[in-house]
């Protein structure tokens, strides 16, 4: 049986039967990963479900709308029982705190706007969990992410999901080529979430109508400041709201309550111009505000570049790409100039507003769907 004969490969890309192919499915308890597990099981694969407990289980039981709550662990277990495959819950609480939560708190306190879901994928799910999958003698690990893995001339490539409204490539830019060899994303080709829910109903899954999670799992109701205050007591020290021209306009109750680009809730009414948060000076405890045009950025320095191109990142003086500096914005034309193997300066052809240190800058094929990696926005 020739390995290069496509007819001999199963749907996960292995030259053996599904029954001989073990796949670990990362199960969050939501409809997406549940469908992945059910579909692979129905196709005859040797499925093992794994759910991560990422923070205190007792506190999680009353928490709804997040991916790692106690309710979700229960739901994942129910799906495994319905579909008759083994399911394990792994306590990753300490790993998660060290690798994700602590950095989230520290970077937020430093005036950055962190994206902890990316760090969780990078440092927990696609690192420690992936190694656990290998320890379980799995051939691959599958997740419910909306992104596509395609084989190219140089190996596995990362591509945007077919449904661009659900595309999660921004949150998976730091996936390495080595990890990509082991990962599978069975939902990436679906055209809509309705298709996913239809599959859940087809398999009779108890989570078929379960709402999507909205929050960062350890940030209830999106209240970042409350979480930071709990993690770092004393972090909400008061200070001054200062205009970019130096005028003191008022006082605030802590830098952690503000984000770059914020306009509402500043508590400095009565001025003759709309003002936005343009900078957070943590050392001086200043919230710096200014007119909207001060938010416009064209030059974005980045670090910790994860490059998924075929040629080395610094083999060219510049790359013409599309880039995303926010998960909710479409890719915009840019020139990426490497300044080292993992650092670069990104020039946006059209200035973007609200670019903040701590966010990701993700690279895309300007004429296609391929994801070429990305880096973390740092201060200029």
DSSP-assigned beta bridge partners for residue 280: 287
Find the helix or strand (DSSP H, E) in which 375 lies.
Answer: strand 370-377
What is the CB neighbour count within 10 angstroms for residue 214? 11
**Tokens standing for 11?**
């749907």
Give residue 71's pLDDT.
Answer: 84
Quick check: is 361 catalytic? no
Q: 219, 190 in Cβ contact below 8 A? A: no
Dihedral angle sign, alpha carbons of residues 128, 133, 134, 135: positive
- For residues 108-113, average pLDDT: 78
Class of domain 240-290: mainly beta
DSSP-assigned beta bridge partners for residue 297: 352
**Tokens standing for 41?**
């099981």
Homologous superfamily of domain range 296-377: Translation factors (2.40.30.10)
Q: What is the DSSP string of 81-93?
A: HHHT--EEEEE-H
- Distance CA(222)–CA(197), nearest Å, equals 26
Could you say which of 68, 117, 120, 361 is catalytic?
Answer: 120
Task: Compute the mean pLDDT over every residue in the chain, rounded to the nearest whole number.
Answer: 89
- Distance CA(33)–CA(27), nearest Å, equals 5
| Beta strands 46-53; 87-91: pairing state | parallel
- For residues 98-103, average pLDDT: 90
For the whole model, what pTM was predicted?
Answer: 0.88
Give residue 229's pLDDT.
Answer: 81
With cut-offs at 50, 70 and 90, classify the pLDDT of residue 361.
very high
Range among 62-66, 105-109, 174-178, 274-278 rated most confident: 174-178
Residue 28 reports pLDDT greater than 70? yes
| Beta strands 46-53; 22-26: pairing state | parallel
Give residue 261's pLDDT.
Answer: 86
Quick check: is 117 catalytic? no
DSSP-assigned beta bridge partners for residue 320: 335
Residue 272 reports pLDDT greater than 90? no
- Distance CA(287)–CA(278), nearest Å, equals 8
With cut-offs at 50, 70 and 90, classify the pLDDT of residue 157.
very high
Could you say which of 67, 68, 117, 217 is catalytic?
Answer: 217
Ranges of each domain in the chain: 17-144+186-221, 240-290, 296-377
Residue 108 reports pLDDT greater than 60? yes
Residues 6+ apart with CB under 8 A from 283: none
Homologous superfamily of domain range 17-144+186-221: HUPs (3.40.50.620)
Q: 308, 373 in Cβ contact below 8 A? A: yes
With cut-offs at 50, 70 and 90, classify the pLDDT of residue 380.
low
- For residues 238-256, average pLDDT: 91
- Distance CA(14)–CA(121), nearest Å, equals 25
Higher pLDDT among residues 196 and 226, named by residue: 196
Give residue 56's pLDDT.
Answer: 61
Give residue 110's pLDDT.
Answer: 78
Least Cα distance to 302 among 338, 263, 260, 351 occurs for 338
- For residues 291-319, average pLDDT: 95
Residue that the structure tokens 């420690």 belong to: 128
Fold match between 17-144+186-221 and 296-377?
A: no
């Amino acid at each position: 049986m020739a390995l290069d004969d496509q007819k001999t490969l199963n749907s996960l890309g292995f030259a053996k039967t599904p029954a001989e192919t073990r796949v670990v499915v990362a199960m969050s308890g939501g409809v997406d990963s549940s469908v992945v597990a059910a579909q692979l099981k129905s196709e005859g694969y040797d499925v093992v479900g794994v759910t991560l407990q990422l923070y205190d289980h007792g506190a999680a039981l009353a928490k709804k709308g997040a991916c790692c709550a106690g309710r979700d662990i229960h739901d994942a277990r129910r799906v495994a029982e319905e579909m008759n495959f083994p399911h394990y819950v792994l306590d990753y609480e300490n790993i998660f705190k060290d690798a994700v939560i602590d950095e989230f708190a520290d970077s937020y306190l430093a005036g950055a706007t962190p994206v902890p879901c990316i760090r969780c994928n990078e440092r927990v799910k696609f690192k420690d969990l992936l190694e656990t999958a290998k320890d379980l003698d799995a051939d691959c690990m599958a997740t419910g992410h909306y992104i596509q893995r395609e084989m190219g001339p140089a190996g596995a490539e990362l591509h945007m999901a077919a449904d661009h409204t659900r595309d999660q490539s921004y949150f998976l830019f730091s996936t390495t080529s080595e990890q990509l060899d082991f990962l599978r994303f069975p939902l990436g080709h679906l055209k809509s979430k309705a298709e996913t829910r239809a599959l859940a109903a087809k398999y009779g899954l108890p989570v078929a109508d379960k709402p999507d999670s909205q929050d960062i799992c350890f940030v209830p109701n999106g209240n970042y400041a409350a979480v930071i205050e709990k993690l770092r007591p004393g972090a909400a020290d008061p200070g001054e709201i200062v205009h970019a021209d130096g005028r003191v306009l008022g006082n605030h109750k802590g830098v952690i309550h503000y984000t770059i680009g914020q306009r509402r809730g500043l508590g400095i009414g009565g001025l003759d111009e709309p003002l936005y948060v343009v900078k957070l000076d943590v050392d001086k405890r200043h919230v710096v505000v200014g007119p909207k045009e001060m938010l416009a950025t064209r030059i974005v320095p980045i670090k910790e570049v994860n490059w998924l191109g075929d040629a080395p990142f610094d083999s060219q003086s510049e790359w013409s790409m599309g880039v995303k500096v926010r998960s909710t914005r479409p890719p915009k034309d840019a020139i990426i100039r490497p300044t080292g193997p993992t650092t670069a300066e990104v020039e946006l052809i059209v200035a973007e507003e609200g670019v903040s240190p701590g966010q990701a800058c993700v690279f895309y094929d300007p004429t296609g769907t391929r994801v070429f990696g990305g880096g973390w926005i740092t201060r200029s």
